[in-house]
Amino acid sequence: MTTPAVEDKKLMAPRRLTQLLDEGSLTYVASQVDGIGAISATGTINGREVVAFANDPSFQGGALGGAEGKVITDAYVIAMEKQCPIIGIWHSGGARLQEGIQSLKAFGEIFQAMTHASGKIPQVSVVLGPAAGGGAYGPALTDIVILGPEGRVFVTGPEVVRSVTGEDVDMLRLGGPEPHGRRSGVVHVVSETEDQAITDTRNIADLLGSQGTFNQSAITDTDLGAFMPESPVRAYDVHPLVDAVLDAGSGIELHPRWAPNLITALGRFGGRTVGLVANNPLRLGGCLDATSAEKGARFVRMCDAFGIPLLVMVDVPGYLPGVGQEWDGVVRRGAKLLHAFAECVVPRITCVTRKSYGGAYIAMNSRSLGATHVMAWEGAEVAVMGPVAAIRILHRRKLAEVPPENRDAVEQELAEEHKITAGGLPKCIELGAVDEIVEPSKTRTALASALAAAALPDGSFPRGNHGNIPL
């Protein structure tokens, strides 16, 4: 899609809403008139009713004042009454300076409406131009943020930054795809074109708003073991495994470049919307760290709030050690992931593919946190730490007496003994930490059976009663 000429800017908001909604379904709630920089409408996406609003950059750069604020808060009232998703198309220079404190009051009322709607109706934002000042917090308070190629999100613009701090920065570096798609975690999806941003918005709104009915008979097996390397210590990209678990072509990864050692994706499983969480050994060996724990917590809470079942694919060697992690708040942020899983009421099913060690074992939806069902592949290891690391602590004196040329062989012998004495999977099943051992080639149907068993009598799933901003 090409950017319209300046004289055609007033067509941008109506055109964007028309493109977003199903053909012929748009009905304006608040008509665009001179001096109003926002419009709203009701319509449908794939037949599901939604409410949408859009800033209009032809009016003072889409700056927001009292009238624009009312358009948006009224849209929220309608969406809450209809209990349907609400979508915001953001292209705003921030508060309208001519209105002074009235414009700040308008933003505050929008934020209050968003907070009251949090966890009750899906909120999706697509940023197609600047979202500055108060306009930056609007998207940030919603469940999913999509950034178009011209989208820029920042609280203070380049000129203010330059005058206050002396830093020479432009809007792209300050609030574009690199800072928010990779570093800050503000943006869930970065789209290469405006057309793609609208398509991504429609797809995500469909997954959240039209979750479908789970059809267990639609699940067929594929050998998920084929996506694993032959060596149990070799790193691999977990994306093909994630795609194979979900219905073909249905997955949308959120935050693909932010904390990529943990995958979070929405998709369908047996036709029903699910959330999938997976460690990615290709990045940081699959370790959890402060950032990925926070990423996972936000995703888990969103799924729980909207009654979206969770599938958790585990291959984690532990938490990433280091001074940097401790200083970065791995204790505080890691606790968010524990809290998110422990408070979940939505079904959450775990499959351990290779290993699950230490505190990360607990955090990745363990039975002790209340997981609905835990399965493991034959040969998977569930332990405090890997056997070699364990015996180096338990038998450090004995190993110190072994000649260096023999130490590797002795370590391997002691490690095998430790696996037996520590119990392995049989011990985990005895203790109730693992419910069953499954073959990789039968994992999808095992996941389906566990999910079907967790459904309510009417086939639906419970949902949490909380907002979507993690504690």
Euclidean distance between CA atoms 258 and 312, whole angstroms: 19
Of 37, 61, 129, 134, which residue is the catalytic one?
A: 134
What number of CA atoms fall less than 13 Å from residue 409's CA on the CB side? 5
Is 313 in contact with 265 (CB distance < 8 Å)? no
Is 120's pLDDT higher than 90? yes
Euclidean distance between CA atoms 356 and 367, whole angstroms: 12
- Strand 152-154 and strand 48-55: the pairing is unpaired
- Strand 436-438 and strand 272-279: the pairing is unpaired
Is 86 in contact with 51 (CB distance < 8 Å)? yes
Euclidean distance between CA atoms 434 and 154, whole angstroms: 46
Euclidean distance between CA atoms 263 and 55, whole angstroms: 32
Euclidean distance between CA atoms 42 and 17, whole angstroms: 10
* Per-residue model confidence (pLDDT) at position 296: 98
Euclidean distance between CA atoms 274 and 309, whole angstroms: 5
* Per-residue model confidence (pLDDT) at position 2: 39
* Rounded alpha-carbon distances, angstroms, from residue 182 to 257, 292, 297, 300, 366: 5, 12, 17, 20, 28
- Ranking 37-46, 216-225, 461-470 by mean pLDDT, the lowest is 461-470
**How would residue 405 be classed by pLDDT, with cut points 50, 70 and 90?**
confident
- Ranking 82-96, 119-133, 271-285, 391-405 by mean pLDDT, the lowest is 391-405
pLDDT tens-place string over residues 271-312:
999 999 999 999 999 999 999 999 999 999 999 999 999 999
Is 318 in contact with 363 (CB distance < 8 Å)? no
Is 146's pLDDT higher than 80? yes
Is 65 in contact with 103 (CB distance < 8 Å)? yes
What number of CA atoms fall less than 13 Å from residue 232's CA on the CB side? 11
Euclidean distance between CA atoms 67 and 233, whole angstroms: 60
Kindly state the helix (H) or strand (E) to which residue 383 belongs, with its residue range: strand 381-383
* Per-residue model confidence (pLDDT) at position 398: 73
CA dihedral (90, 94, 100, 106) in degrees, to 10, reads 30
Is 293 in contact with 333 (CB distance < 8 Å)? yes
Is 241's pLDDT higher than 50? yes
Which of 177, 211, 169 has its CA nearest to residue 46? Answer: 211
pLDDT tens-place string over residues 348-360:
999 999 999 989 9
Q: Token pair for residue 403? A: 């000649």
Active-site residue, 318 included: no
CA dihedral (361, 262, 123, 344) in degrees, to 10, reads -10
Q: What is the DSSP letter of 468?
A: S
Phi-psi group of 424: left, alpha or beta (phi > 0 → left; psi -120 to 50 → alpha; rest → beta): left
User: Span 36-52, mean pLDDT?
Assistant: 95
Of 133, 176, 296, 424, which residue is the catalytic one?
A: 133
What are the chain's domains?
A: 6-207 (3.90.226.10), 215-453 (3.90.226.10)
Euclidean distance between CA atoms 455 and 307, whole angstroms: 11
* Per-residue model confidence (pLDDT) at position 412: 76
Cα separation of the two ends of the chain: 39
Q: Token pair for residue 18? A: 């028309």
The beta strands (E) that lie in 133-196 are given as 144-147, 152-154, 189-190
User: Span 111-124, mean pLDDT?
Assistant: 97
Give residue 369's identity as a one-letter amino acid code. L
Active-site residue, 359 included: yes
pLDDT tens-place string over residues 172-203:
888 899 999 999 999 999 999 999 999 999 99
CA dihedral (459, 239, 224, 208) in degrees, to 10, reads 10
pLDDT tens-place string over residues 1-31:
334 333 455 578 999 999 999 999 999 986 5
Active-site residue, 133 included: yes
Give me the residues paired with residue 314 across strands.
Answer: 352
* Per-residue model confidence (pLDDT) at position 6: 38
Q: Token pair for residue 189? A: 């999806």
Of 66, 225, 358, 359, which residue is the catalytic one?
A: 359
Q: Token pair for residue 213? A: 């009915």
**How would residue 395 be classed by pLDDT, with cut points 50, 70 and 90?**
low
* Per-residue model confidence (pLDDT) at position 259: 97
